[in-house]
Homo-oligomer: A and B are copies of this chain.
């Protein structure tokens, strides 16, 4: 499986993904699920993928091919030159539709699943920071002030802390802590989600990445979050009143 989470707060966009993929319990591998695209001063965009790996890799290849072609024929529309983040989501959705059309029937004939989903977070100059969730059908939804975060993959373990913490006015620092805690809970409870992690941060109106960081299993700052959270939970739990008296 996979766990990816993206948050859109007033101060910017925060993304965190794991790297574990599995075809059955006995076939575990490591694949990057976060991909970043940047034209400094113009736009910064990050994609995170879950679901059928062959589908999401093909979507990514399709986006890269468009970018490569546009070097010779600048009229070619790509996620790096299109006019809006909304159009970026459409372009990713169109690539998703194409790959589903090409492979879904044969994948399902083999008894496997072709479902996939992609989170897109970014801002281009002249627009607002946007966060989209693209489904297998190529359709998509956008995060709003009411629901300022999206999760894909194994989302349930790490949802309670996000429900409690994330609001539009949450700071970037707190959003980073919250996605780390959310990931930590998921890592502890589900073997199909695994280290290392990929973290990205895009500040509002920066049009570039402030952070693109791989978090390895021995990362000291992530370990402090993980251990600090364990200790805080234990202290908080011990301070709760007894239900039975």
Q: Residues on A close to B: CB < 8 A?
A: 154, 156-157, 159-161, 163-165, 172-174, 176-178, 180-181, 185, 188-190, 199, 201, 210-211, 221-222, 224-225, 228-237, 239-245
Contact = CB atoms under 8 A, between A and B. Distances in A.
- Chain A at the B interface: mostly helix, strand, loop or mixed? helix
A161 to B, nearest CB: 7
Contact of A243 (B154, B160, B221): B221
10 contacts: A161-B237, A177-B237, A201-B244, A210-B244, A225-B240, A228-B240, A229-B237, A232-B232, A232-B240, A233-B233
A223 to B, nearest CB: 11
A234 B156 CA distance: 20
Copies of this chain in its oligomeric complex: 2
Contact of A225 (B181, B232, B234, B241): B241
Contacts of A239: 228, 232
A211 B180 contact: no
